[in-house]
Amino acid sequence: MDNLIEDLDIITDQGDAEACETIQVSKNSDTGKNRKLYIESYGCAMNFSDSEIVSSIMSENGFDTTSIAEEADVIFINTCSIRDKAEQTVRKRLQFFNALKKKQKRPDIMIGVLGCMAERLKSNLLDEEKIVDMVVGPDAYRDLPALVAQVDNGERAVNTFLSREETYADISPVRLNSNGVTAFISIMRGCDNMCSFCVVPFTRGRERSRDPHSIINEAKDLFEKGYREVTLLGQNVDSYKWSAEINNKAQLEKSEISEVVNFANLLEMVAQVDPMLRVRFSTSHPKDITDEVLYTIKKYDNICNYIHLPVQSGNSRVLEMMNRTYDREWYINRVDAIRRILGEDCGISSDMIAGFCSETESDHKDTLSLMEYVQYDFSYMYYYSERPNTLAEKKYEDDVPLETKKRRLSEIITKQQETSLNRNKRDLGLVHQVLIEGASKRSEDRLQGRNSANKVIIFEGKGHKKGEYVDVLVEECTPATLLGSIVEGGTHKC
Ligand code: SAM
Ligand code: SF4
Ligand code: F3S
């Protein structure tokens, strides 16, 4: 177990909207453009979604994409800063690309660092990593063509300006590595919560919401192209707020404007695009998720019965130090509301941090007991990694020894495996509506998809293809997966 934790200081068993250790690589597009772009993306789904915006901007400016770094004229790494390990991975990749340039005898290959690490380190990155030609923060992607031209002219280029308005609403993303069935749609950017452990408010700037009309148009366009599921993305989707007059949350909250689109309204608008389009969203913040949102989920069959509701810790004192602005009781109240309004079958997942500053053995046990109470379907689990310039780094001592953090994380993982298995066993013998996403990872003969609660289901699927909805009887399960077979005309359990 220790080795496992060594390798993965996070666990991402479901590979979806919150999967932080996944890497995404650009795919091949050959439309006869002059130059080739290779993008490698790290971090969360919002970063992957940004890479699709970057590809779109670059393709308008003379670039096709490639999945092979060796073929590229320009290499971008879209980076993550959430934990130290994420940044170390990027630094290793930069060494690799340096070696590649030398091996290929191609000193002209341009290397750009994009995203959160670019924003955090700004022009210092140019001094620290000599190979880097370009540093571009998450709100500066419209400037990429000018920055590329600057590097073409022999200069190094930096733009890490953070905007209060940029949402890239008018840019139609080029879908990278898409299965053609499920897609992410960014509905907001930035984060105004100051969780004391987190770099995101510093790397992504102030929260702003995207024009709902552009979101609906993107969802319609995806549906017309054959997509059958969209995931609406934001660091705190429940605080989505948009008005035609003011696209700035702080000003909007002070204003008297009554015509405001909130997250429940937006969910409803997207659900109405087509009943065959599934709608998911991530991430919900326990302090903001409202009963109005829960009732909207209940009202529409195509809004999935699944909520990612990160708790981080089960102890109220630690939650206060984390500046999460809710306590254990509040969180339990929100879980009870989910169960009351959406029922026991609603999937609930979480993020957990083991070994935050000053966490005692008894605080840690509170996390385990909360997990027992909620019975999460799955969780993304990490041990605390102190990040420079965050509130926690300034105010608190990172005083839990690494060995203790790892041991507590392994106990959290064990508890999660237990509750995942409990939850999956409840599905045995029941028929689930599954949206087919493609062949299963292990065998081309089997198909895989997800049920409404976001659980992966694998089944024999002769005669069926991705993008179809099928009814699957669940016959076996592991903590991570359900296995079953298609039944014709079964009763849906969404
Ligand atoms: N906005 C989401 C929320 O508030 O739930 C979280 C987004 S963050 C990109 C994903 C997860 O990374 C967090 O929920 C937290 O569990 C984890 N995380 C953030 N900072 C961390 C740190 N310094 N050390 C370990 N894990 C961290
Ligand atoms: Fe980070 Fe907290 Fe914002 Fe999530 S809500 S991105 S954990 S500051
Ligand atoms: Fe995402 Fe990592 Fe930035 S999790 S918002 S890419 S710090």
Residue nearest to atom 11 of ligand 1 (CA): 351
| CA angle centred on 468, ends 462 and 472, rounded to 5° | 65
| pLDDT value of residue 22 | 62
Closest Cα to atom 2 of ligand 2: 195
Which residue CA neighbors atom 1 of ligand 1 most closely? 235
Q: How far is the CA of 200 from the centre of ligand 1 (A)?
A: 9
pLDDT of residue 491: 47
Amino acid 492: pLDDT: 47
Q: Is residue 191 lining ligand 3, measured as CB closer than 6 Å?
A: no
Cβ 183 vs Cβ 223: under 8 Å: no
The predicted structure's pLDDT at residue 178: 82
pLDDT at 256 (0 to 100): 67
Find the range with the poorest average confidence among 72-86, 249-263, 441-455, 461-475: 249-263
Give the mutation target among 195, 197, 287 for probing the ligand 2 site: most ligand atoms within 8 A of CB: 195
Least confident of 236-245, 336-345, 385-394: 236-245
Given a cut of 60, is residue 5 above it in pLDDT? no
Is pLDDT at 150 greater than 90 in this prediction? yes
Tell me which residue of 332, 267, 326, 330 sits closest to 295, measured CA to CA.
267
**Sorting pLDDT into bands at 50, 70 and 90, what band is 29?**
confident
Query: For residue range 302-311, what is the model confidence (pLDDT) as tens digits?
Result: 999 999 999 9
How many angstroms is it from 79 CA to the middle of ligand 3? 8
Q: Does residue 283's CB lie within 6 angstroms of at least one atom of ligand 3? A: no
Model confidence over 317-343: pLDDT tens digits? 999 999 999 999 999 999 999 999 999
Q: Which atom of ligand 2 is nearest to the CA of 192?
A: 3
Stretch 186-201: mean pLDDT: 97
Residue 224 has pLDDT above 60, yes or no: yes
54 φ/ψ angles, rounded to the nearest 5 degrees: -60, -45
Tens-digit pLDDT profile for residues 73-124: 999 999 999 999 999 999 999 999 999 999 989 999 999 999 999 999 999 9
Ligand 3 atom with minimal separation from the 82 CA: 7
Binned at pLDDT 50, 70 and 90, residue 24 comes out as confident
Pocket test for ligand 1, best of 82, 83, 284, 312 (most atoms within 8 A of CB): 82
Ligand 3 nearest-atom number relative to CA 42: 6
Mutate to test the pocket of ligand 3, among 40, 78, 81, 206 (most ligand atoms within 8 A of CB): 81
pLDDT at 225: 96
For residue 11, is pLDDT > 60? no
Question: Ligand 2 centroid to 489 CA: how many Å?
Answer: 43
176 or 5: whose pLDDT is higher? Answer: 176
Angstrom distance (rounded) from CA 465 to CA 20: 29
Distance 20 CA to ligand 3 centre (A): 8
Provide the pLDDT for residue 258.
66
Q: Please state, in angstroms and rounded to a whole number, the distance separating the CA atoms of residues 83 and 89.
A: 10
Please, what sign has the CA dihedral across residues 442, 444, 445, 449?
positive
Computed over every residue of the chain, the mean pLDDT equals 91
The kind and range of the H/E element at 475 are: strand 469-477
Cα 179 from chain centre: 17
- 375 C-alpha to ligand 1 centroid (Å): 20
The yes-or-no verdict on residue 226 having pLDDT over 70 is yes
The sheet that has 347-354: what strands, in order across it? 10-11, 378-383, 347-354, 306-308
Give this prediction's pTM: 0.93
State pLDDT tens for residues 471-493. 999 999 999 999 999 998 654 44
- Counting ligand 2 atoms within 8 A of each CB, the residue from 18, 186, 191 with the most, and so the one to mutate, is 191
For atom 12 of ligand 1, the residue with the nearest CA is 82
Q: Which ligand is nearest to the CA of 352?
A: 1
Q: Percent of the chain at pLDDT above 70?
A: 92
Taking the centre of ligand 3 as the mean of its atom positions, its distance from the CA of residue 354, in whole angstroms, is 19
**Residue-range domains of the chain with CATH:** 2-159 (3.40.50.12160), 182-425 (3.80.30.20), 431-486 (2.40.50.140)
Residue 157 has pLDDT above 50, yes or no: yes
- Ligand 2 pocket: which residues have CB below 6 Å? 191, 193, 195, 198, 200-201, 235-236, 285
Residue from 23, 54, 113, 203 to probe ligand 3 pocket by mutation (most atoms less than 8 Å from CB):
203
